[in-house]
Structure 1
Amino acid sequence: MDKLRAMQTFVRIVDKGSLTAAAASLGTSLPAVVRTLAALEAHLQVRLLNRTTRRLALTEDGRSYLDSCRRILATIDEIEAGLTTRQVELAGHLTVTAPMLFGQMYVAPAITRFVQRYPAVHCSLNFADRVVDLLEEGVDVGVRIGPLRDSTLIAQPVGRIRRVVVATPAFLRKHGVPRHPEDLTRQPCLRFSNGNPHWWTFQDDGRVFQVPVTGNLEFNQTAPAVAACAAGAGFGHFLSYQVAPLVAEKKLRIVLEDYELAPWPLSVLYPHARMLPARTRALIDWLKADLAPRFP
């Protein structure tokens, strides 16, 4: 059995939603697709798809195997594309999405450098604090923070984003450095009106817990909250990238590191790996190289 061909066939069946459509797109016969799937399931000794006369549904093993197949096929595509991308004149249009503040702080500067390097490429940047559907909205590349739920996308891990508590050195000298999250209950904290403004979440040896926080400043946007924190108005609870420049300049200091929640993944996403345009592949590699050193 040609394992690579079997993986490609399985992924195509899932993407097309039927054996018949998969056969047509692969330029082969329906019996050939059926035989390939049967041979693959026999080789793996698991059922990958539940089949009825009307629909196909992935089994739990099928979902896991699908993710692995996509990663393997994407890696093969990257190897092959890497041999040719350098020879190709990059040109055309790309649409990129990212969370609002992260996009402004990190993605926009990276893409500015990218289009300066490849002036025939035109990039449209769409920054929004919502989960953008790359397929529905015609987006070529997305940058996402947090768990990934859409298995139809290819995700390239880039780094990690911590959730940190910070304050100015002057504020800490005046109010003291907290040793435990409970110490925050007696201090002014900068809160957000969205989400759960009265509680901050931490963990200790895997045990997740919340502490109540109070303060006389509440925000619905991150940037002014960071500015208030940098002005010494209280403790702030932010994603690490939001305060990274101020921490690097020692204008803010991270506290309670031992109680931070597990970091969130930072990923570069794209809808599919097969036959990616050279400009898309180049941008993905550019973003990974630019962002990875900043968020180890």
Structure 2
Amino acid sequence: MDKLKAMQTFVQIADQGSLTAAALALDTSLPAVVRALAALEADLGVRLFQRTTRRIALTEEGRRHLDSCRQVLASLHDAEAALKADAREPAGQLTITAPVQFGQMHVAPAVTRFVQRYPQMRCSVLLYDRVVNLLEEGIDVGIRIGPLEDSSLVAHTLGHIRRVVVASSDYLARAGVPRHPKDLLRANCVRRTGNNPSWGPFIDKKDKGRPFSISVSGNLDFNQIAPAVEACVAGMGVGMFLSYQVAPYLADQRLQILLEDYESPPRPLSLVLPHARLLPTRTRVFIDWMCKALQGFRQP
């Protein structure tokens, strides 16, 4: 048995979800895939998949062995890639996704500089304010803000982003400075259309760090972040935003942060991949580029 080939076949079956799809991916026949899997299971003395006429699923032993196989194949790939990397620059297509405003402000400029540095690269940047399924939508790299719900993703933490309450000095001079989140009940709050009317969670350190939310109201609602921020800059009320969304206005003091003592922990900013193994050179170089561009990100 060619154990390396059998391991490659096993990984493809797991990734593709069927023996037939694995055969297509490997450009080989279905019987060859079946034989390779059977030989590997016989050699290990365990069943790697539970198979029925309709589906195939990894056993517990299969899941453990899959990680080992990925590590072995990745080490081989990385060793070969390291020898080739100095001989050529990255080339080919990459598709990247990010939240709309963060993508416009930070991701798109970094990708533009990347393509300037590596002109043989072609990059498509897709900006969505929704959680994108990287595998299903053919995305190579994603930028995410907040906890990752999909545990199968491989994540690199780049930094952290705060959720902040802000207002202009003009508004605060008229309405007073909130000292506790409950003071927002009397404030004119600029909100997002369709969002939960409650703001939070806030953390009360004097109450064992217990989180709580405040139901707010106001006379301005927007379905986009930018006009809501501008309304706060114009002195129309208090807003709650992610820190990067108001960073320019905080820098020139047109807005100021309120209630910092009650902020919840900052959200992680992550670069995510559908998997970590057998990455092409272009993806590995791009990951390094973005990690340097966004590493330690924290605003303000």
Q: The TM-score by the shorter chain falls in which range?
A: 0.7 to 0.9
Deviation at 1:150, TM superposition (A): 2.6
Deviation per CA, 1:232-262: give whole Å up to 9, x if none.
2111101111112222222222121222223
Larger Rg: 2
Instruction: Flag the 1:50–1:75 CA change in 2: closer, same or farther, 3 A.
Output: closer
In structure 1, distance between residues paired with 2:197 and 2:118: 44
In structure 1, distance between residues paired with 2:202 and 2:158: 24
Q: Give the corresponding residue for 2:149.
A: 149
For structure 1, list consecutive stretches of 5 or more residues without a partner in the other structure: 1-6, 40-48
Instruction: Flag the 1:27–1:159 CA change in 2: closer, same or farther, 3 A.
Output: farther
Q: Give the corresponding residue for 1:4.
A: none
TM-score, normalising length: structure 1? 0.78
Q: Give the corresponding residue for 1:236.
A: 239
In structure 2, distance between residues paired with 1:260 and 1:72: 40
Does the aligned pair in 1 maintain the 2:9–2:36 contact within 8 Å? no
Structural mapping, 1:206-221, within 5 Å: 206-221=209-224
Deviation at 1:16, TM superposition (A): 4.7
Amino acid of the residue matched to residue 239 of structure 2? G
Deviation at 1:30, TM superposition (A): 2.2
Matched, 1:56 2:57: yes
Does the aligned pair in 1 maintain the 2:94–2:124 contact within 8 Å? yes
Instruction: Flag the 1:92–1:9 CA change in 2: closer, same or farther, 3 A.
Output: closer
Matched, 1:32 2:37: no
Amino acid of the residue matched to residue 295 of structure 2? A
Deviation per CA, 1:104-127: give whole Å up to 9, x if none.
111111111111111221211111
In structure 2, distance between residues paired with 1:77 and 1:220: 50
What is the SS of the residue equivalent to 1:293?
Answer: coil
What is the SS of the residue equivalent to 2:275?
Answer: coil
Does the aligned pair in 2 maintain the 1:11–1:66 contact within 8 Å? no
Amino acid of the residue matched to residue 271 of structure 1? P
Does the aligned pair in 2 maintain the 1:9–1:37 contact within 8 Å? no
TM-score, normalising length: structure 2? 0.77
Instruction: Flag the 1:180–1:51 CA change in 2: closer, same or farther, 3 A.
Output: same
Q: Give the corresponding residue for 1:115.
A: 115
Does the aligned pair in 2 maintain the 1:163–1:261 contact within 8 Å? yes
Aligned residues: 282
Does the aligned pair in 2 maintain the 1:167–1:253 contact within 8 Å? yes
In structure 1, distance between residues paired with 2:101 and 2:284: 24
Q: Give the corresponding residue for 1:95.
A: 95
The alignment-based identity, stated in percent, is 53
For structure 2, list consecutive stretches of 5 or more residues without a partner in the other structure: 1-6, 24-30
What is the SS of the residue equivalent to 2:229?
Answer: helix
In structure 2, distance between residues paired with 1:269 and 1:241: 19
Instruction: Flag the 1:96–1:195 CA change in 2: closer, same or farther, 3 A.
Output: same
Q: Give the corresponding residue for 1:267.
A: 270
Q: Give the corresponding residue for 1:45.
A: none
Q: Give the corresponding residue for 1:283.
A: 286
In structure 1, distance between residues paired with 2:65 and 2:270: 19
Instruction: Flag the 1:50–1:257 CA change in 2: closer, same or farther, 3 A.
Output: farther
